[in-house]
Amino acid sequence: MGMNQTPASERVHISFFGKRNAGKSSVINAVTGQDLAIVSSVRGTTTDPVYKTMELLPLGPVMIIDTPGIDDEGELGALRVRKSYQVLNKTDIAILVVDSTTGKGEEELALIHRFHKKGIPYLVVYNKIDLLSGEEIKDLAMSVRPGEVLVSAADGMNIQELKEKYTQVKFKGEQQSSSSNFLLILLEWVLPFVMFYVLLTFIMKKAGGGAGGGMFGVGKSNAKVYVQKETGVTFKDVAGQEEAKESVVELVDFLHNPGKYTEIGAKLPKGALLVGPPGTGKTLLAKAVAGEAKVPFFSLSGSDFVEMFVGVGASRVRDLFKQAEENAPCIVFIDEIDSIGKSRDSRYGGGNDEREQTLNALLAEMDGFDSSKGILILAATNRPEVLDPALLRPGRFDRRVIVDTPDFKGRLETLKVHSKDVKLDETVDLDAIANITSGAVGSDLANMVNEAAINAVKCGRKAISQDDLMEAVEVVIAGREKKDRILSKEEKKIVSYHEVGHALVAAIQKHAEPVQKITIVPRTMGSLGYVIQAPEKEKYLMSKDELSAELVTLLAGRASEEIVFDSVTTGASNDMEKATKIARSMIAQYGMSEKFGLMSLEQISDPYLGGHSQLNCSDKTATEIEEEVKTLLKQKYEEAKKLLQENRDKLDKIAKFLYEKETITGKQFMDIYHKCDEPEASKETTQTVETVENAKEDITEK
């Protein structure tokens, strides 16, 4: 059928899109070899879609459509753009013409998105490459993707390549072969069923944990058996937890020498519960027990008991204890036991049938086995308050081992353990590091040593120095130095006075902790500066005077800003948060309020997970507590302002020094502080002596 006999609906519609003056009409003329479209330098010459029918080999009869620019402006321009988009509904092949001197813009990207959405095959033509330099053409060619071509309608460059590309495009109007139809059916219908079957088989195998253990093996325990050579952990690797180690050493001795205990009538405790904050070494201690006892060690998490099938948890508990009896004497360790041992009371999230079944099975199995066979159950949790009381009674978990935050001695021993395999130079003082890391747990200290080692390598040193360790402590506390955050002079001055306010008030007060370091270098955790204080000795109790001194110190930064600049900033938000928490605890928990006396109005829940507080009083009393906290904070703020006003000269001198140096040590800070205390007469005498000495030196030189 010839061109004239071919209905318009059966012709291949090739539509040219692009911005005004991108060269759409020029490209059409170059491709067809005819002057089909009007070429003009005037923007927006094409105001309506122009349709031209012709024979274009090898496609045959085609319809060439020239469209208005997709970047047309104004009310009339918007109408033209809309007409261009309407052409998409009758387009078989789209050719997007882009001005290579400007590249793709938002309009072109939006149009490409429409091509994809409507399933229209398209080519991107970069026109006017004759206006580019050789280097620019080379760079553009490097970024060209499949389906894109560089042309010049003006001189005919790569027009033949463009013709070859659009004749190869498989457009939506083409008839597909029978083989293509068969392949399509295969992909759309058969393949999804095959993939679903493979996925289902995989899930069943993973859920079952292997063969046996009920249907698809889902009831089989996932416990991993470790022997001593695989754990590689002994009590020497556990530092800072001497009391906890002492408790579990007895258990290990019982497994090794049961006779001396049974002779007197003693029984091995069925279970020991390791309790403490995250990172204190509960799991490490359990592995050390296995390493010392040299017996099979079953290790699994509480979440391993509960999966997608109801009743799997109870079945796995029974299977676990069956394996344990076959391998006795042995140790069974359940980490994060609170995931299955949570109280059945609805206040703690009870009411889950699957978890309750698992817990009931665990209770029954712990009652059923004979401890004389040498089966010891160890469990770890940081949420003991949510555990079911039936799990904690004697005869199940007989012993509770507290693995708490280490004290100074514990931190020192922990640092020694983690630093034994790294190179340290002669400047390292682990005692100083242990002193300033109060509250850090074993994992924190291990991380600090590792960060110090990384910093030493980064600085090109062969061994870790004290500076590396101090930097590691600050990285853990406040994050890394934020080198791209440069403070303005005014902000830097405000931060200097703020931090010196903290340090100066701490130095003035009798019950405050000594200052170790002051810095105004911004850190990644949001801090623009901070003061490091370290106690002279380990403290386990805080007096009212010490808490009051801490309140005054915390509020002194904001007080310093108000005194010097007669204004306040957002920099004290964290200070106020800490101060409010301390003041609230003094009134509601510690009985340090004259108004409420010895009443305990607040209790701590989750003591090992941040210690969330909960009020035990009426709404009226809660309001009164808020007023009391407000009064106390105001009193301490005024006290901080008074101390700073009385020592204004010290505040100015130290702040100026900090502004210049950005970081000063506690020793430098105290030197300036004491120099300010020297009497004027003494200062004059010192200056006179220095003048005389200088004169003598001058005479000698002459």
Residues taking part in catalysis: 499
Q: What angle do CA 62, 64, 67 make, to 5 degrees?
A: 155
- Which of 335, 360, 319, 224 has its CA nearest to residue 273? 335
Q: What angle do CA 54, 56, 61 make, to 5 degrees?
A: 55
Q: Residue 649's Cα: distance from chain center in Å?
A: 44
Whether the Cβ atoms of residue 361 and residue 317 lie closer than 8 Å to each other: yes
Residues 464, 423: Cα–Cα separation, whole Å: 6
Q: What's the residue count for the chain?
A: 702
- Which of 273, 227, 261 has its CA nearest to residue 372? 261
Residues 692, 685: Cα–Cα separation, whole Å: 11
Whether the Cβ atoms of residue 654 and residue 560 lie closer than 8 Å to each other: no
Tokens 């009409």, located at residue = 25
> What is the token pair recorded at 249?
């050493």
Whole-Å CA distances, 394 to 272, 282, 365, 696: 10, 21, 15, 86
Pairing of strands 93-99, 122-127: parallel
Residues 365, 380: Cα–Cα separation, whole Å: 18
Q: What angle do CA 57, 62, 63 make, to 5 degrees?
A: 145
Residues 336, 316: Cα–Cα separation, whole Å: 16
Residues 172, 165: Cα–Cα separation, whole Å: 16
Helix, strand, coil percentages for the chain (3-state, nearest 5): 55, 15, 35
Buried b (16+ CB within 10 A) or exposed e, 105-138: eebbeebbeebeeeebbbbbbbbbbeebeeeebe
Residues 546, 543: Cα–Cα separation, whole Å: 5
> What is the token pair recorded at 438?
């109060």
> What is the token pair recorded at 320?
């676990």
> What is the token pair recorded at 10?
């059966």
Residues 129, 30: Cα–Cα separation, whole Å: 14
- Which of 2, 62, 67, 70 has its CA nearest to residue 32? 62
Q: What angle do CA 164, 168, 173 make, to 5 degrees?
A: 135
Sign, Cα dihedral of 509, 511, 516, 520: negative
- Which of 544, 543, 578 has its CA nearest to residue 558? 578
> What is the token pair recorded at 575?
């200070």
Residues 449, 476: Cα–Cα separation, whole Å: 11
Cβ neighbors of 413 (< 8 A, separation 6 or more) are 239, 240, 406
Backbone angles phi, psi at 542, to 5 degrees: -120, 125
Backbone angles phi, psi at 312, to 5 degrees: -65, -40
